[in-house]
A and B are shown apart, each in its own frame.
Chain A
Amino acid sequence: MKKILLEMKNITKKFPGVVALDNVNFQVTESEIHCLVGENGAGKSTLMKVLSGVYPHGSYEGEIIIDGESQEFSNINESKKTGIAIIYQELALIPEMTVYENIFLGHEITNGISVDWNETIKRAEKVLKKVCLQVNPADKIKELGVGKQQLVEIAKALSMDVKLLLLDEPTSALSEDDSENLLGLLRELKKQGVTCVLISHKLSEVIKIADTVTVLRDGETVGSLSAEKGEITENTLVKLMVGREINDIYPKRKVKKGKDIVFEVKDWNVYDPSRGKQILSDINFNVRKGEIVGFSGLMGSGRTELALSLFGNPGRSRVSGDMYIDGEKNNFSHPENAIKEGLAYVSEDRKGNGLILIQDVKQNITLANLREIAKRGVVDNNAEIKIANEYKTSLAIKTPSIEQKVLYLSGGNQQKVSLAKWLFVKPDILILDEPTRGIDVGAKYEIHSIMNELVEQGMSIIMISSELPEILGMSDRIYVLSAGKISGELSVEEANQEKIMHLATN
C-alpha cells in the first residue's frame, strides 16, 4: 500500500449565491500521476486554489492533510514552503528575463547581500537537465517557444524541492509534439518520485497518462477511477463528467457541401517585418459554399497568421497575393473591410484579442456590428438588449444576465459569446481559430452542433484546430500547413491522424 501524500476532506467553498465546492474529497497517493477532470465550472480550479492557499484557511470548510499533517495555508507562499507548486495555464514567466533568472525568481541564491549568478546558472543547468530541456540558460524566455517555456516553468517548480506538482491544463497551448514531450517528462518525474496532479480537458491525454482520475461535476466529486483496475475509458469519463452519455462529440451533418467556390486564395505570401521572417509562402486554397475546411498543422506553422493576414491584416505584415470572394477580387486594408465583405474571425485567444473582458455580454456581442443597431451614430440600447437575449437563448449561453461582465463567465460560455459576436455580423465565411480550445466536452459538442447548423444554412467555415480528432470529425476537406506552406490537401475520407501528422512534420 502506497502512502497518501495529499488528502482534502469534505471541502466546501461558497461564493455569494453559488456553492463552488460541495463536500469534495480528493486523495493523491505518493508518486502517482493523478488527473482531475470535469466540465468548466465544475470546481477544478477552485479546488486547486483552496489547496494552494489562494483562498486562505477560514474562507472554506474542510481539512487539508499533507504527509499526515493538517495544513492551514493563509497564502500561496505557505503552500509553496510545504512543497506544492502550481503551473497555471497562463505562464507566469517574464519574457524579457533569461531562463535562469526566471527559474530562480522569488527564491534567488544569494551570498548574503548580492545574487550569486554563477551558482544560479550552475543550478539552473542542473534543473534544466532534469526536465530534459536543452537550452542555454542565458537565453531570454521570449526567444523560446511555448512548449519550452512550459518546461522552464516546471524546472522552476523543481528548483524549489517540490513534493506535489499541480499542472492546470499544461498542454492546451501546445502542439501534439510538445504535448507528447511534456507527458513523457511527467512519466520521467514520476520515476524520480514527484507526484503530479494534472487538470486536463483532453481525455485522450488523460487516458494515456493517468494512474488515477478524479471527476468533479457541479462542485461535487462524482467518481474516482484507477488505471490499474482498467476503469479509465473515454466513455466512463464523459459519462461521469456530463452526467449523461454523449456518444459522438462530432455530430453528423445532414447536408452535403455545395459546389460553388465562395472563397479562394492564390499565391498568398506573408512577411512579418517585426520578426524579419517569411511567415507564409505560396498559399493556394479554396472554400466551397456550405463547407467546413479544416486547417491543421503544428504550433508555429502559420495557421493563425494566415487567418489574420486574410482578415484585414491587423498585424501589419507585408502581404502579397490574390483573394477572391464569390469570384471577385478583394483586398482588405483593415478588419473593418473584411467584415463588410462577409468575413468573420473568431480568435483563438478569446481573452487576449477576442473579447473585452471588462465589458458585459451584450456589449461584446454587438461590438463588431454596432452600426446595425444604431441610427445616425446613436446606439439603440433596447434593440441591443433584445439581440443579446436572442443569442443568449439560441446559443444557450449560461449567464445570470446579459449585463454580466464576460470576465466572470466560464471558458465555454466566453467562447459562445465570442461566437455570438461574430454570428451577429452575419458572415458568409466564418473563420474559427481553435473553436473549442480549453473548453469542456459538453460545450464542445454544443459548439460543433452550432457549426453544423451554420453550414446547413449555407455559411462556409474555415476551421483551424490543433486537435486532430476535431479536424477529422468536423471537416469536409483538410489542408495541412507545415512551416508556412501548404504541405497537403486531404478529403475527409482519405485523411487519418498518421497522414496529417506526416504532412505536418514534412
Chain B
Amino acid sequence: MADFETPELTEIPVVPHIKEGVMADSKPYVAKADFQEALGFPGELVDNWEKVAVDKLGELKGKYRSLQVFLDSCVKCGACTDKCHYYLGTSDPKNMPVARQDLLRKVYRRHYTFAGKYFPKLVGAVDMTKEVLDDWYSYYHQCSQCRRCSVYCPYGIDTAEISMAAREIMDEIGVGQKYCNEIIAKVFKIGNNLGLPEPALADTLEGLEEEVEEDTGIPIKFPLDVKGADIMLVTPSADFFAEPHVDGLIGYAKVFHEAGASWTISSYASEAANFGMFIGSYENMRRVSRRIRKAAKDLGVKRIIFGECGHAWRVAYSFLNTLAGPWDFLDPNYPVPQHICEYTHDLIQQGKLKFDKSENDHMTLTFHDSCNVARASRMGDKPGGQFRIPREIIKATCNNFYDMPSDTIGEATFCCGGGGGLLTDDLMEIRVKGAMPRMQAYKTVVEDHGVTNVAAICAICKTQFAKVLPYYGFTMDQIISLHQLVGDALILSDAPSEATATESSEE
C-alpha cells in the first residue's frame, strides 16, 4: 500500500524505545505564493527570515500568555514523553511532546533568556538556522494539536499552543503548509473547504432530498439559504457528500424534521471547519468565524447549531463568542452555538424522538472521543458532558455498545492521527503510524466484544478512519457518523409537522 511499514498492534500497549530521526523526512508540501498571500503571508521565504522568525516569536509570546508561560515552565520531567500517539506510533523522539516543544524552546532560550544568551550549551539553546527550520517544518506538522500531552503535564503545558505558534512563525517567513493554507483561501473565496459553490451545494442538497424521500417515503428537506429560519446549521462541508459523513447529515435532517424545526444551511458559511486554528493564526481564524456571524445576520436566524466536527466544535464552543460575538441578536434561551448532539440529546430527554433500536442491531458499536471535543470543549452544562451526551445518544439508538479501554477514551482519548491539518495524502505515513494507539484500542473491543463499528463526531476523524482502518486489517466502512445511528433508528411520524422549513421558507 505504501513505502512504509504499518506498525504492529501488540497485545498490550508498549512504549517504544527512541529511534532518532526516523520521521525527519516526513514533510507536507509547501504552500504556493498565491495561497500564502491570500492569507496575508509572504509568498516565499523572506530574505532575513532568521530575524523575522525570532522577532515574530517575541511578538507572539507577548500576545499569548500560554506561550510565554509554557516556554518557561517545562522542567523536562518526562511525564508527557509516552503520551503522544505520534511518538507511540513512530518511536521518533522528536515526536515526544516535550522534544517537539523544545524545537521552539531552544530558540526562545537563545534569544530571550539570560541563560540561553550566555550559556547556550548548558541549557540547550540554539540559534535560528536552516536545520532548525527544517525540523520545525517536519515535526510541527507531525502534531495534531490534540492536547493529550496537556492532560498529563503537571503545568498544563499544551504542545498544541507551541505548534500553533511555530506554524504561525513559519507562515510569517513565507513557509506555509499547502494543505491548510489552500483550504483557508478556498473558504475566503467560496465559503467552504471543498470549494463547493452555491449552485453545486444546492444541487447536492436537492439530490439528498430525493434520495431520502425514496428511502423513507417522507419529504425530508435540506433547506439552503432560507431567510427567517429559526436554526442555522453550520456543518463541515465533508458532510455534503463524503462517506460516512453524509449519513450524519441525513441524520441531522431527520432529527430537525421530526422535531418540526425550521432550519437552514447557509451557502455563505457552508463550512464548520476553521483551519485558521491549525495554523495558529488568530486573524485568519477570526476572519473565517465572522462569515458565520454575517450569515446568521443575513438570514435572520435565531439559533446556530454545529454539525459533527471536532476542531470546528472547539472553535465554535470555545472561541466563537470571542472571535465573532457578541451574539446578542440571537435567541438568548439557547447557548450559542449549540452542538447537534446537544440538540438531539435535548429532544431525546424531552421524549420528542422515538427510536427503533433494532434498526442498528446489525452493528456492535464503540465510540471514538474526538480530541478537540474531549479536551478543548464541552457539551451540556456540566463538565464531561462531551463524553456523556454522545454515549447517551448511542445508547438510546443502539442495543450493542462497548467502550474502548478507559485509558484511551474520555480525556485520555487518542487522536485519530489525522487532525490538526495533517489530513492530506502527502502526510500518509505519519497519519497511519499515528493512528496506531487508536487502532490498538479498537482492536481490543473488536476482539473482546465483537465490536463491528466505531462511531465518531468529527469529519476529520471519519475521513482519517476510513483511510487508515484498512492498513490495520479492518474495513473502511467500519467508521460511521453518530447521527447515522440516530437517523437509521429514528421513527418518523407519518405526517410532517406544520412548522417545517419549507413552509417558513417563503420570503
Q: Is the A/B pair a real complex?
A: no
Q: Taking beta carbons and an 8 Å cutoff, which residues of A are in contact with B?
A: none
Q: Taking beta carbons and an 8 Å cutoff, which residues of B are in contact with A?
A: none
